[in-house]
Chains A and B, each alone.
Chain A
């Protein structure tokens, strides 16, 4: 299938070929197929609107690829507001020399993920820049918030229960393993979280706060929630699920799973009376099978954790990049 060249981004015949052979082949729906300058959409009510850019290397990894990731990331951000994701746009920046067969695989992966998540890809753009065969994708998305839902990081109250949907650090450890050429079985957790959110809302759970646990990790997002809700968050270390292989990998590199990135994990904060049912609902889904109650909301500020031996540790936000240590 060849390589991407500058002409693919020049808007002429070569670009049109790419459009029909790759994007047109995989992305098909009633809005996009009209091929107008902009997508025309009819939406009623409050909307949630989000954007994210994806620059991960390697572009294909165990458990996913940048195509799957760029849909999951934006869809999950919309879901976390209690919204039903509807439409996605995508902007591609391709570097000269990108393998077109690889692009075809990634676009196909995007299309499959979007279809499974029930979102339509309704607009897109492609640019080509000089470089060494990489690619970057931006996605933006819109979802509709059904009446009666009020999900916000500012809603937590003392006594509420924090549920984490599964193990921490898998995506981070997977990408780092690939970059460091370390052989192991760690897979990215990259996934759409709709089964969990749909389950919680359709069961009538009073979901107060939801957050997907991405960059910065659990430690950082819990501190953000504590600040926005003016409360204190108390965690129990032994209740936080971490895959053994990820824990070993993190120990060797001096990384803390509390600050490692994930792409298919979320926390939900619910009132105590709903906690048991919410946990059951999460555990009944494939993406939430390892869900656990990890802590509670209390009066005060900041985030603290009771450690395995009963000590108390303050959990702060991530500073800097979380670089591997040298000794």
Chain B
């Protein structure tokens, strides 16, 4: 089917109102960047899910990392997006501004090189991400262990997507179908959504990031709903296999074990976190038990935004006390956070 025909169909859709959740923050960004909402019927509502790892990181985690940054002879490194997420007493970016030892990394391997060159200092990596990012941390620990590096610690906030999707299906039954993440599915495969589709009777379709991909997936989900189907489909076949990436999964399973994790806005979800296994404990900078979250001020609707109950602009703080320059929550900080994307795009 040609894209023009898909657009025509979706624009003219006049069936029952539908709510589709795009789980991944990169999809949210692409939907805005390509003006997808303006191409489809207002009866098809696209809502953003908890698919930005920065947005679901609780304050206790940021505080733990900030504690390390304040210690003498410690250097904290993280990827760009994490720099501005506020903890109880400011963000890593604020700490950097005060001359405290915080740096932005492009890969954990550059931190390993620094650790090897400066054995008198301890290097702490704030390791945040989903299954997409977890394998690189597994390989980093492997490399550090191989080289006998002792002055490296990971504070992990690594999460897995399937338990969060189960949580959403259990707690919010008004979502009609899921646009499954592209990058995460490259690792975990499309087969893992089968159990969810069967149990909750909803379509789960894996999407790529080009506007044509997203439109094809929206079309497929709408058609499935119209035909009473709830199938799992992979429409990102040039990158995603049914069984995922076996090497990456093996690396994750070799170095990490699952455990309960706190998702900002959702609360605690069993088996949704990845933690270094006991045999690699020397590289763990204290990643467990980081379940305390900042008390949300009156009116803050972060929790509802993350699960798509509210659109970001329906939060009373949106654009007023919470803006990209003065974010209250990580959803407004991250380039992939629903609030930040909405603020920049509407």
Contact = CB atoms under 8 A, between A and B. Distances in A.
Contact of B81 (A307, A309, A311, A323): A323
Interface in A268-327: 305-314, 316, 319-321, 323-327
B334 to A, nearest CB: 7
A266 B82 CA distance: 33
A50 B215 CA distance: 48
Contacts of B211: 307-309, 311
Given A309-B3, A309-B39, A309-B212, A323 B104 contact: yes
Nearest to B81: A326
Given A254-B26, A309-B212, A311-B211, A325 B34 contact: no
B104 A316 contact: no
B7 A319 contact: no
B324 A326 contact: no
Contacts of A326: 53-54, 78-82, 128-129, 133
Given A311-B35, A313-B35, A324 B215 contact: no
Interface in B125-151: 128-130, 132-133
A41 interface: no
Interface in A244-282: 254, 256
In this complex, the member of B29, B79, B80, B211 whose beta carbon has the largest number of chain A beta carbons within 10 angstroms is: B80
A327 B336 contact: yes
Nearest to A259: B344
A313 B84 CA distance: 26
Contacts of A311: 34-39, 211
Nearest to A322: B335
A327 B129 contact: yes
Contact of A310 (B39, B81, B83, B84): B39
Contacts of B82: 326
B80 A312 contact: no
A313 B53 contact: no
Nearest to A254: B335
Contact of A327 (B33, B39, B130, B345): B130
Nearest to A314: B345
Given A320-B325, A325-B334, A307 B34 contact: yes
A323 B34 contact: no
B203 interface: no
Main secondary structure of the interface of A (DSSP, over half): loop
A308 B34 contact: yes
Contacts of B345: 313-314, 316
A254 B104 CA distance: 16
A1 interface: no
Main secondary structure of the interface of B (DSSP, over half): helix
A116 interface: no
Contact residues on B (Cβ < 8 Å of other chain), bracket: 35 or more
A306 B38 CA distance: 10
Contact of A312 (B7, B35, B52): B35
A314 B325 CA distance: 19
A324 B82 CA distance: 10
Nearest to B209: A251
A313 B33 CA distance: 6
A308 B32 CA distance: 13
Contacts of B36: 311
A307 B215 CA distance: 14
B183 interface: yes
Contacts of A308: 34, 211
Nearest to A251: B209
A309 B53 contact: no
Contacts of A321: 80
Nearest to B80: A323
B346 interface: yes
A180 interface: yes
Interface in B85-138: 104, 106, 128-130, 132-133
Contacts of B39: 309-311
Interface string A17-40: 000000000000000000000000
Nearest to A313: B35
Interface in B301-346: 324-325, 334-336, 340, 343-346
Nearest to B106: A180
A309 B35 CA distance: 8
B50 interface: no
B132 A327 contact: yes
A17 B83 CA distance: 45
Contacts of A324: 79-81, 106
Interface string B3-18: 1000100000000000
Contacts of B343: 316, 319
Contacts of A325: 26, 79-81, 334-336
Given A323-B81, A326-B53, A327-B133, A310 B7 contact: yes
Nearest to A219: B344
A319 B342 CA distance: 13
Given A313-B38, A316-B345, A320-B324, 19 more contacts: A254-B29, A308-B211, A309-B3, A309-B7, A309-B35, A309-B211, A312-B35, A314-B344, A319-B343, A319-B344, A323-B80, A323-B83, A323-B104, A324-B80, A324-B106, A326-B53, A326-B78, A327-B133, A327-B336
30 contacts: A254-B26, A307-B33, A307-B34, A309-B3, A309-B7, A309-B39, A309-B215, A310-B35, A311-B35, A311-B39, A311-B211, A312-B35, A312-B38, A314-B345, A316-B345, A321-B80, A323-B84, A323-B104, A323-B335, A324-B80, A325-B26, A325-B79, A325-B334, A326-B79, A326-B81, A326-B82, A326-B129, A326-B133, A327-B130, A327-B132
Q: Nearest 3 A-B pairs (CB), nearest first?
A: A311-B35, A323-B80, A319-B324
Interface of A: 180, 254, 256, 305-314, 316, 319-321, 323-327
